[in-house]
Amino acid sequence: MKPANKEIVLRGIPVCPGVVIGKVYLFDSKEEFIAKYKIPEEQIPGEIARFEEALIKTRHELVGIQNKIASQVGEEHAQIFNAHLLFLEDRSVIEQVIKRLEKEKINVEYIFQQVGKKYVELFSNMEDDYLRERASDIRDFTRRVLYNLMGKKKKDLSDFEEEVIIVAYDLSPSDTAMMHKELVKGFATDVGGKTSHTAIIARSLEIPAVVGLHNVTGKIKPGARIIVDGNRGLVIIHPSKRSLSKYTIEKSKFERLTEKLAELKDLPAETIDGYRVSVSANIEMPADIPSVISHGAEGVGLYRTEFFYFNRTDLPSEEEQYTAYKKVAEEIYPNPVIIRTLDIGGDKFSHQIGIQKEMNPFLGWRAIRICLEEQEVFKQQLRAILRASAVGNVKLMYPMISSVDEVLEANKIVEEVKTSLDKSRIAYDKEIEMGAMIEIPSAAITSDIIARHVDFFSIGTNDLIQYSIAVDRVNEKVAYLYEPANPAVLRLIKSIIDNGHAENIWVGMCGEMAGDLEMTLILVGMGIDELSASSIIVPEIKKVIRSSSFKSLQMLSEKVLKCSTSYEVRKLARALLKKTAPEFVMQQNYRMPYSKDDPISNAQI
């Protein structure tokens, strides 16, 4: 009898929650083997012609896919292909290939593959996450040209006829454009991060996905059974009977919960004793809006506009920005949309503005610091935001404020832009609310001063935690320290809320902490007015708030502010969560994969 395959558990980066058990569709996106052979001198013009033909054919293919994506998913997604097309039209790449062909007299496929590899390597070693991920665009583009040179048909993701979990080295936009979306139930990839294309597509399809698994493709055969646990970031290959039954139960619990939560869509986030909080969603592009609406978010609490600046060589025009902001404002109306001004820098790198490599990019030239220096870029964005405010409920927010001086300077520039719009008789909301993100400890400590010059605060805990605990938010080695329940973080947050309220402004939160359900309870107890998180988490936030009494949350927040350790804080908050909304205790475990007292995350690595 053939021995049963042993269960293998791999850990990666969870990029979309949920659990799926299914059959593997192994999508081989790895490198082709290309033979190398000499060609006679007289064959060189023919090789060049073949190369040019393959480039033209690839261009047609890419433009075709780009159009398809633009019409089906949206213009912003189609722009992902700009990197492919730029590479295709890059004369220096073409000239390198032709020069080497003439000098080395080797078949063009081989030379082109070598040139492509050089660029992939160059991009793979870039420091910036986003640029590093562009290596996969170049890899995909190289493969397409090679297939056309060899007259082969590229395998695509429309080949299957049953439900599958796609396991791949990586998924490029052109791969997923052709995919049978209804039949795809999950993703697992060797490479990738939270902002990789696979992650973005998984979230828009709302299917469980784990990326960055290193070598899942090498450990699995087509058709094998796997479990993708998008909550914990685990992939289980050849699951044992025990794992299968455990996950079958978890999966149906998760699905039942999701269905039940959908019933809350139109209900407010109000405690049983009548305390109401606004729950909104974070977005990156207009294509995220349907998910905001379908999950019952009461607006957009953070529109991250830096995504405009990625994957292109020029700056986005005022008109282009206005079109996107207007679309979001109109679709969300009468609910509010908080548009955050450019937050480039740190781990969000962009060439157009000339950001240089820095020793400490998170402490460097970024966000409002760039905008106050590059005022034309800032003004162009402000004009677009103000113009969009004429058609919707738009609010404007500055990121990375470190002192009141920056607020005053930014407010002055906004006034200048308003005056110029008045002169040109261009409409905008004269009462537009302007807020500051509080995500730097100096701003938190002086929030009583800043509160006098803005209409609201939004606490950016992703950065506030990293700066107050001195723990890099993208460094996995110190991730165990990255703990929202740290008493220092909680004290800062409480003082921001109190300082805001003392000046009669509302205080929200748009960092990930808002959707960490144990923390949600504490935050509401502290008196937070608004919480903004990923759309998918909105129903969970509503549910825990609706299951609690404000009185019990206030008591919890008072108690946790007296705790000495984050462990004590978590223990108290978890006990209350268990009492009020026990169905979420399981999910909560998932969200703390680095917690030392979490037996699930430690057991299976």
User: What residues are labeled active site?
Assistant: 197, 510
Amino acid at 170: D
Name the binder of 510 from ligand PEP, Mg ion, none, CB < 5-8 A by kind. Answer: ligand PEP
x/- site string to Mg ion, residues 421 to 460, per CB under 5 A?
------------------x--------------------x
Q: Which two tokens stand for residue 564?
A: 């000495």
To the nearest whole angstrom, how small is the minimum distance from the Cβ of residue 458 to Mg ion? 10
- Which H, E and C letters describe 516-577, residue by residue? CHHHHHHHHHHCCCEEEECHHHHHHHHHHHHCCCHHHHHHHHHHHCCCCCHHHHHHHHHHHH
To the nearest whole angstrom, how small is the minimum distance from the Cβ of residue 440 to Mg ion? 9
435 is a contact residue toward ligand PEP (CB under 6 A): no
CA distance 235 to 3: 21
To the nearest whole angstrom, how small is the minimum distance from the Cβ of residue 425 to ligand PEP? 35
To the nearest whole angstrom, how small is the minimum distance from the Cβ of residue 304 to ligand PEP? 5
Of 191 and 367, nearer to Mg ion (C-beta) is: 367
Binds ligand PEP by CB under 6 A, chosen from 120, 227, 279, 302: 302
462 is a contact residue toward ligand PEP (CB under 6 A): yes
463 is a contact residue toward Mg ion (CB under 5 A): yes
Q: Which two tokens stand for residue 174?
A: 């052109």
Terminal Cα-to-Cα distance of the chain (whole angstroms): 30
User: Helix or strand or coil: residue 200?
Assistant: helix
Binds ligand PEP by CB under 6 A, chosen from 271, 381, 389, 461: 461
Binds ligand PEP by CB under 6 A, chosen from 134, 197, 304, 387: 304
Of 157 and 510, nearer to ligand PEP (C-beta) is: 510
CA distance 72 to 67: 8
Element (H, E) at 142: helix 135-150
| CA-based torsion, 427, 433, 436, 437: positive or negative | negative
DSSP assignment letter at 184: E
CB-based contact 115:24 (threshold 8 Å): no
Of 239 and 399, nearer to Mg ion (C-beta) is: 399
Name the binder of 302 from Mg ion, ligand PEP, none, CB < 5-8 A by kind. Answer: ligand PEP
**What are the CA-CA distances from residue 421 to residues 81, 328, 377, 389 (Å)?**
35, 21, 16, 12
x/- site string to Mg ion, residues 325 to 364, per CB under 5 A?
----------------------------------------
**N residues, the chain:** 605
Binds ligand PEP by CB under 6 A, chosen from 299, 460, 527, 539: 460
Count of other CB atoms within 10 angstroms of residue 99: 11
The residue among 396, 436, 399 whose CA lies nearest residue 418 is: 396
x/- site string to ligand PEP, residues 507 to 546, per CB under 6 A?
---xx-----------------------------------
439 is a contact residue toward ligand PEP (CB under 6 A): yes
Residues 6+ away with beta carbon under 8 Å from 580:
521, 544, 547, 548, 552
To the nearest whole angstrom, how small is the minimum distance from the Cβ of residue 307 to Mg ion? 14
Name the binder of 461 from Mg ion, ligand PEP, none, CB < 5-8 A by kind. Answer: ligand PEP
CA distance 387 to 427: 6
User: Helix or strand or coil: residue 17?
Assistant: coil
To the nearest whole angstrom, how small is the minimum distance from the Cβ of residue 437 to Mg ion? 6
Residues 306-345 that bind ligand PEP (CB under 6 A): 343
How many residues touch ligand PEP (CB under 6 A)?
10
x/- site string to ligand PEP, residues 236 to 255, per CB under 6 A?
--------------------
To the nearest whole angstrom, how small is the minimum distance from the Cβ of residue 588 to ligand PEP? 20
How many residues touch Mg ion (CB under 5 A)?
3
Strand-pairing partners, residue 204, are none
| Residue whose tokens read 């993708």 | 228
What is the contact surface with ligand PEP in residues (CB under 6 A)?
Answer: 302, 304, 343, 439, 460-463, 510-511
